[in-house]
Amino acid sequence: MTRRVPRLWELRLLPRRPELDPVKRAHTVSDLRAAARKRAPKAVFEYLDGGSDGEITLHRNRSAYDRVEFHPRVLVGGEADTATAILGQPASLPLVLAPTGYTRMMHPDGEPAVARAATAAGIPYVLSTMGTTAPEVLRCDNLWFQLYVWDDRGFTKELIDRARGCGALVLTVDTPVPGNRIRDAHNRLSLPPRHGPATFLDFGSRNFARDLKWSDLAWLRETWSGPLVVKGIQGVADAVRAADFGADAIVLSNHGGRQLDRSPPPWTSCPPSPTPWVPASTFSSTAASGPAATSPPPSPSAPKPASSGVLTCTA
């Protein structure tokens, strides 16, 4: 064997400097999850990762996603175009970034980082009532606001007023009582955190309304003139009812398996539709006869339905 200086093309075959940033190194959501597990305190990671009770719904959600199939059509040429409109606003993808409470507990950059990512991707972002950045200061091209209704409706109204600049109001309806999060209990996680980031809202001794009713949706419809979304609908009857009460869209959701365990994965609670149902979908109500005619009539205090009808997937 003769010794010689390596040729340039041989050097190119040597392994490159390893990427140290775990986010840049990640290729999949599972990679990101593994990185978060390593870096975040255990209680914080498990708050983010966990579901309620036996986590049966959490696991069923994952297997429901695994069962999703794409049926491609071939030989159609051209570029794929994912651009669409969501609640009348252009979006580069049929996706909305969901609200998460205590975002700064997960990462010190918190909501501003998520808002930057949403703006860069050209999609809406929903700021949570339990957010750690105030709606008035958050910069995002298409910011929506997620509302938890409080036992003190006057305080709820003040909150809605603070969100007036947002592109949509998203009422979460699947949290009349907090989910029973066993992992948080084991970790003795107290929310709001005793040491750590506070929410932008000083809610004092107030609690989420346990008596939330359709009449509250009617009240919201009168109070908020922009697009109104109901998040946490889990069946066709309630979807139709939400439309009857003036909702512009619903989010079919079981809160990621964090609330009522054994509730069904979102789209399995929908009947087969000629239009494919899309996960985390937004729906718009389209005038049609059918299920609406058989749904229970709105209460006398409810506003006249803008359009009663079936809900079809638009995303």
With CB under 6 A as the contact rule, the residue among 280, 291, 295, 306 that binds ligand FMN is 280
- Does residue 172 touch ligand FMN according to CB under 6 A? yes
- Does residue 191 touch ligand FMN according to CB under 6 A? no
Q: Cα 231 to chain center, whole Å?
A: 8
Task: List beta partners, residue 169.
Answer: 145, 228
With CB under 6 A as the contact rule, the residue among 36, 58, 104, 128 that binds ligand FMN is 128
Gap between the terminal Cα atoms of the chain: 65
Residue 59 or 290: the one with the smaller Cβ distance to ligand FMN is 59
Q: Least separation, in Å, of the C-beta of 238 and ligand FMN?
A: 15
Q: Least separation, in Å, of the C-beta of 60 and ligand FMN?
A: 12
Give dist(CA 45, CA 183) in Å, integer. 10
Helix, strand, coil percentages for the chain (3-state, nearest 5)? 30, 15, 55
With CB under 6 A as the contact rule, the residue among 124, 255, 298, 313 that binds ligand FMN is 255
- Does residue 199 touch ligand FMN according to CB under 6 A? no
| Residues 51, 43 contacting (CB under 8 angstroms) | no
- Does residue 51 touch ligand FMN according to CB under 6 A? no
Q: Least separation, in Å, of the C-beta of 276 and ligand FMN?
A: 16
- DSSP output for 148-216: PPBS-HHHHHHHHHHTTTSS-EEEE-S-SS----HHHHHHT--SS-SSSPPPSS--TT--B-SS--HHH
With contacts defined by CB under 6 A, how many residues of the chain interact with ligand FMN? Answer: 17
- Does residue 236 touch ligand FMN according to CB under 6 A? no
Give dist(CA 256, CA 265) in Å, integer. 9
Catalytic residues: 255
Binding residues (CB under 6 A) for ligand FMN: these are 48, 98-101, 128, 130, 146, 172, 231, 251, 253, 255-256, 258, 266, 280
